[in-house]
Amino acid sequence: MASSNRLRRIGKELADIQGDTASRIKAEPANGGSDLGHLHASFPGPPETPYEGGTYVVDVILPNEYPFKPPQMKFKTKLWHPNVSSQTGAICLDTLGTAWSPVLTIKSALLSLQSLLSTPEPKDPQDAEVASMLMKNPDQFQRVAREWAIKYANAPKSTQWETNIAHSPTNSRPKPQKNISREEQMRLEAARYQGYNKDLIDRFVNMGFDIDRVVEAFIFVNIDKNNGEDYELEEAYMGDITARLLGEP
């Protein structure tokens, strides 16, 4: 019974999305199937952002309890944004979690995602690396976000965004470019691990933390370097490292 309600509502929502061509939001059952519980949706990247001209595809799973539980959304299109994992497409947005309300819809959630692209929030990151780049080096962030939009989201190479950026005085000034060799680069990279095994550190980096912060946490918790060899950490240590990374006491 509960699931037929859910299907009825999802059906209505899809009809509404298909009837509204102005928003350029699309949604349909995934893989051309008839399962209304799994959709593929897409929306255009917002104008005047690095995502302009791109098309962002989102995987949408509607749980059995929908609309009492939020739709599970993640990006299928890779994008460079502090609140979206650059690895998995996982999204950090309160309306898709604790702030969900059953009067919200698939369309309103997609509009929230579109608006999230215009207003990145690096202080509540899903991807720590992207967030730290946005805070420390906004120009570089814009550049990478644009490159990814062209590479993954099919954004044209030239849009209004490029024209504006190219003409804005802060971005057109030449930047000091250090030419460092590949060996030098690798040496610098190795130095960041401070004697710890790369794979060992990268298991935390892959969760979205910055290399330097992970290494700092390892040193703080006093983790054995094991002569740079990889090894299995005890659970208690894992907990201490995670707590340190998340800034818990």
| Residue 71 DSSP class | P
Shortest separation between residue 3's beta carbon and another protein, angstroms: 10
- Pick between residue 11 and residue 47 the one whose CB is nearest to another protein: 11
Q: Does 37 bind another protein (CB under 8 A)?
A: no
Q: Does 19 bind another protein (CB under 8 A)?
A: no
- Tell me, yes or no, if 92 is annotated catalytic: yes
- Pick between residue 65 and residue 229 the one whose CB is nearest to another protein: 65
Please give the structure tokens belonging to residue 102: 């059953």
Q: For residue 215, what are the CA distances in angstroms to 3, 155, 200, 211, 228? A: 48, 37, 10, 6, 13
Shortest separation between residue 36's beta carbon and another protein, angstroms: 14
Tokens 């730290």 belong to residue: 132
Determine the Cα–Cα distance for residues 15 and 28; give it in Å rounded to an integer. Answer: 10
Instruction: Give the chain's radius of gyration (CA, Å).
Output: 21
Q: Does 4 bind another protein (CB under 8 A)?
A: yes
Q: Does 13 bind another protein (CB under 8 A)?
A: yes
- Pick between residue 3 and residue 168 the one whose CB is nearest to another protein: 3
Return the percent helix, strand and coil in the chain, to nearest 5.
45, 10, 45
Among 66, 75, 100, 209, binds another protein (CB under 8 A): 100
Order of all β-strands in the sheet with 38-44: 26-29, 38-44, 55-61, 72-75
User: From the candidates 41, 60, 92, 241, which is the catalytic residue?
Assistant: 92
Determine the Cα–Cα distance for residues 97 and 229; give it in Å rounded to an integer. Answer: 39
Determine the Cα–Cα distance for residues 218 and 241; give it in Å rounded to an integer. Answer: 6
Shortest separation between residue 35's beta carbon and another protein, angstroms: 19
Shortest separation between residue 132's beta carbon and another protein, angstroms: 31
Which 42-71 positions form the footprint of another protein (CB under 8 A)? 65, 67-69
- Can you give the binding site for another protein, defined by CB under 8 A? 1-2, 4-5, 8-9, 12-13, 65, 67-69, 98, 100-103, 105
Please list the active-site residues.
92
